[in-house]
Structure formats: C-alpha cells, structure tokens
Structure 1
Amino acid sequence: MYRSVFNDSRNINGIDVYYEYYLNEQSNETIVLLHGFLSSTFSFRRLIPLLNEDFNVISIDLPPFGKSGKSYNFIYSYENIARTVISLLESLDIRKISVTGHSMGGQISLKIASLRPDLVKKAVLLCSSAYLKRSKLPLILSSYIPYFHLYVKMWLIKSGVRNNLQNVVYDHSLIDEEMMYGYMKPFLEEDIFKAIARMIRDREGDLHSNALKQIETPCLLIWGEHDKVVPLSVGKRLTNELNNSKLIILKNTGHLLPEERPDEVYRHIKEFIYS
C-alpha cells in the first residue's frame, strides 16, 4: 500500500487554512476530519493512523484554531467556516467526501451537508454540538470593547488546560504531558484570543430543528455515555430529528471520543462508510 502525507496551508476566503492530507492510493474514499472548539487536528492524532489504513484522510484546522489563520477580519460564523472548508476541498479537487466532526466540528459538518448535499456522502458526528443558540446580546456587545480579548484570555487561563481536559475525558489517567502541551500550544499565540472574541460575535447558533429535518445525508452519531459537555440527551434528540441517522453510545467514555476510544470509533466509522 502506498501512503503519503502532505501538510500545507492555503489562503481560502481571505484566511490561511492549515490541513493535513493523508493519501491512500488503494482507497477511493476520502474522510474529512473537523475538530471541536478550542481544539485542532491534534485531537485526531490517535484516530488518523487507523483511518488511513482504509481511507484518504484530510484533517483541517478550522480558523482560528490550530495552525490556521487568526485574522480579526475573518467572519467566524459557522456558515462561513463551512463554506471555507468547502472551498478548500474544491481547491484540492475533492468532489465527494464523508465528513467526521467532533463537537463544534459536528455542527459544521451538518452545515456542510445542508449547504452541499452533493458533496457529502455520509456524516459521522462525534458528540456533536447541537441546539446552541447565539450568544446573548450583552456578550456580543462586549466583544466590541477594546481589549475584550484579554478577558477571553484570562477566562481560558483561569479554567486551565488540565481542568478542561478533566472535563472532557472520562478516564483522567489518559491525561499526560504530551496531551496537555498539544492542546495548550495553539494558545501560546496572542492573536488567537482576538479571533475567539470575534467568533463570540459572529457565531450564529446551531442549526434549528427545521433545518436538521431537511438533511437527508446518512448520519452516524457516536456519543460518550458520560459526556459532560454535550450530554447524551442532546445526541438522542439529534438522532430523532435527522431523518437518516443511527446513534451508538460508548460506555465509560466522555466527550473527547477520538482520544478516548480511537479503535472503537474507527471500527464504527469503517462499518458505516462501507455499509
């Protein structure tokens, strides 16, 4: 089997978008991975090698996270981020994909499926964000205040990397120095906080029920039984509103599925894609 890896960044819609492209010349299937809020392609580090045994894999850093651009002028709405991912795939001459999104990346995956059903063959939603409303007006107005990004920075520092990981991982013994540094590294750049402040203003809220019910793309939902960030009840509701969907629940698992259960997630994805 011939496999190769390309790491690159392309300017799409006025912002640099970083992606990792893992080729598998024996496969005609391409899986696109979209990470969650405050995360990056790093969160798929244990899942990518498994998927690449059977698929071409493209893992994207959604702006403003990871190694992608952090421009204060970019519009960080889910729709614009989804259209940016679509444009990136078009620039790579990718015509058909299965998309896998974790948390916020799941909501953007649904947005892509809604915008371009011809592009998305199947969708895998890992503890997907759903039913979140737009930020309240006082917070949106606050985002216009000069140096508001410093409040964002202070909030993130106060919560701490270890505390955040303990909130998303069921088995805390998985948290080691490599994991902590991998999730902390993108936040060593000052521009990320300005971009997140802009994202608070731009995020339009998750797809409403009527829009979800119009999505015909086959969807596999995989959820951690003990997810504290996006509770299992959200997954059950989402399954009921997506016309062509199935829910799988992983026991003794939290929110960070790609880190906690890469082998099981891989097995379920493979079965779903080839079914």
Structure 2
Amino acid sequence: MPTTIDNGKPVNRKQYSQISKINGIDLYYEVYPNLNANKTLFLIHGFLASSFSFRYIIPELMKQYHIIAVDIPPFGRSGKDLKYTFSYKNIAATFIQLIHKLQLKNVSLIGHSMGGQIGLYMALQQPEIFDKIILFASSGYLQQVRKSLIFLSYLPFAHIFVKKKLVDSGGVEGNLLKVVYDKNQITEGMIKGYLEPYIENDAIFHALAKFSRDREGDLSKEDLNKIHIPCLLVWGAHDRIVPLQVGKRLNQDLPNSELVVLEKTGHLTPEEKPDETCRLIKEFVG
C-alpha cells in the first residue's frame, strides 16, 4: 500500500482517492491505508450507487484493515466510455487488474447487491487471490434483459428512456424509500450523495443504456458450486429488492457459505445496520 517516509520509517498515508486507467476505463477508487493491518477489504457497491454507500462502515473498519472502495463503471465517479464492455465478467476482470496493480494481499471481497454478483464473478475468475467473501443482499439468479430491451438500447434516444424510467420510479428518493426498512433513516445528505452522479450530465444515462445490453445473466448454480472460498451471506429480513429467498438459495449453491438474517432491516444493510455490519465483517474476516 502507498506510504510516506518519516525519519526513515514508513507511516500511514492519509486516505485518498484516485482515478486510474484500468482495462480501458477510468476507474475511481478510494484507498484507506493501514500499515498495521495484514488483511485488505475490497468493497463493491450496488446498482445505481457508489462507494458513498459504505460511508458509515469505513471509519470503523479502517482501524483494523486496509480498505479499497471502488466505483463500478459506469457508476459514481468511474468512467462512462461507451467503448467499454459493461459486463459482469469484464468488470470483474477490471477489478482483478486493479488488485494486481495495487499489489493487494490477503484480500476479502465485500459486495452489496449487484456488487455481490460482481464479487462472485471475481471469485470464479481468480479464486486464489481471495481469502473470504461477504455478500450483503447479493443479487442472484437474474437473467439477461429481454431481447426487446437490448434492441431498444441501440436506439439514439435510449438514454432518454433510461432517464425517464428512473424518474418515473420516484427518482433517487423514491428508490431509497423502497430499499430501507425504516424510512426515517433517509436524510437530505443521503439523497444528495446518491443523486450527485446523475445531475452533472447525461453521460451516465447513455452508459446505463449500454450497461443494460452488456450485462449478462448472474452466475448459474453450476458456477456457484465451483466457488469454495468461505462466504458469509447477510440479508435483511425485510429486503424487498433482493428477497431473503435469494439468500437461502445462494446458501445452498455456494458450498462453503453461511447465512445470517438481520431483523428490521431492508436492502441497504451497511447503511441501516452499520454497527452490526462491522461486527459481522470483523468476526468473519478475523
């Protein structure tokens, strides 16, 4: 991990963010170094989100671990270049390249929602570089979008359709209301943090249109059976986005997994239950 030198001795460098060209895309990631740590956490957010979604758990976890939080292309501050292939397989390969570039060791994957599925793709591609996997309400068993929608994504006005669909669903605030158990947890700062990447320009909507056709289906049962890395599955009992039944099915298909269910919790586990999230991570990673 990056360090500075003080009187000939390495010391912790302050947390920082960076955009690097990885696998043909500008990849935004945040680094929280801890020179006393011998384990690294690699954090991957969910759909329509960014590394912002881990803001409550990073301050506690960085006391014990190296942390890398990355924005999935085309979300957050990562690139939206339409020449890039926004498939899970390619995004997973891009993140693995970043791990090698940063020379990370003893890496545990932490993925939320769609980020969990990308983490599983990474584990399938190069299982030898990961110690543990922790999935918070991971997506699973979704098929590729219908051929009619793939065709629509090629049309010049596709980005307008994507933007309208997001607005019609209630916008950022409307979507947040669907993913939390306690609506009182939604604050102005939370809405602003999730909205920010979508108000600067329309590039994100063009990229989302391409993302919709590039995204292949989730891993099959046969592929999941090949992943033997110890895996902790954490689910909110009241998750309306990725129901608990998906977690139970993943628990059956991932050979070395265990499932923990949190009561009075929706889909945004790291934000709704940050203390419990940190405790589970520390106990599982060690």
TM-score, normalised to structure 1, is: 0.98
SS in 1 for 2:150: helix
The alpha carbon displacement at 1:50 in A equals: 1.2
Match of 1:137 in 2: 147
Give per-residue Cα distances to partners, 1:109-158, cap 9 Å, x unaligned.
11101101111110000000000000111111111111111100111122
Q: Are 1:58 and 2:71 an aligned pair?
A: no
Unaligned 5+ runs, structure 2: 1-10
- Distance in 1 between residues matched to 2:214 and 2:221, nearest whole Å: 21
CA distance in 2, matches of 1:264, 1:45: 15
> Which of these residues, 196, 199, 210, is aligned with residue 198 of structure 1?
210
| Pair 1:103 & 2:113 matched | yes
Alignment partners' CA distance in 1, 2:228 and 2:260: 19
Moved beyond 6 Å, runs of 4+? none
* 1:215 and 2:237 matched: no
Q: Quick check: 2:40–2:105 contact (8 Å CA) kept in 1?
A: no
SS in 1 for 2:26: strand
Alpha-carbon separation, structure 2, partners of 1:3 and 1:74: 32
| Structure 1 residues without counterparts, runs of 5 or longer | none
- Hey, what's the Cα distance between the residues in 1 that align with 2:230 and 2:143? 25
Q: Percent sequence identity over matched residues?
A: 49
How much has 1:95 moved relative to structure 2? Answer: 3.7
Which residue, out of 234, 244, 256, partners 1:244?
Answer: 256
Match of 1:176 among 187, 191, 196: 187
Counterpart amino acid of 2:174?
A: N
Instruction: State the AA in 2 paired with 1:233.
Output: Q
Higher Cα radius of gyration: 2
Does the CA contact (< 8 Å) of 1:22 and 1:57 recur in 2? yes
Whether the 8 Å contact between 2:38 and 2:106 is mirrored in structure 1 is: no
Q: AA paired with 1:222?
A: V
Q: Which residue of 2 aligns with 1:264?
A: 276
**2: distance between equivalents of 1:120 and 1:93?**
13
1:229 is aligned to 241
Does the 8 A contact of 2:57 with 2:275 survive in 1? yes
- Corresponding position of 2:3: none
1:172-230 Cα distance to aligned partner (Å, 9 max, x none): 00101000000010111210000000000100110000000110110000000000000
The answer as to 2:24 corresponding to 1:32 is no
2-side partners of 1:186 and 1:162: how far apart? 14
1:236 aligned partner, one-letter code? K
1:114 corresponds to which residue?
124
Distance 1:197 1:156, change over 3 A: same
Contact 2:39 2:105 in 1 (8 A): no
Q: How far apart, in 2, do the equivalents of 1:12 and 1:27 lie?
A: 26
Report the TM-score, using the length of structure 2 for normalisation. 0.94
**Aligned residue in 2 for 1:163:** 174
Q: For 1:45-97, what per-residue CA distance to the aligned partner results, in whole angstroms no more than 9, with x for missing partners?
A: 00111111110110000100000001111100000000000011111111431
What is the Cα deviation at residue 2 of structure 1? 4.4
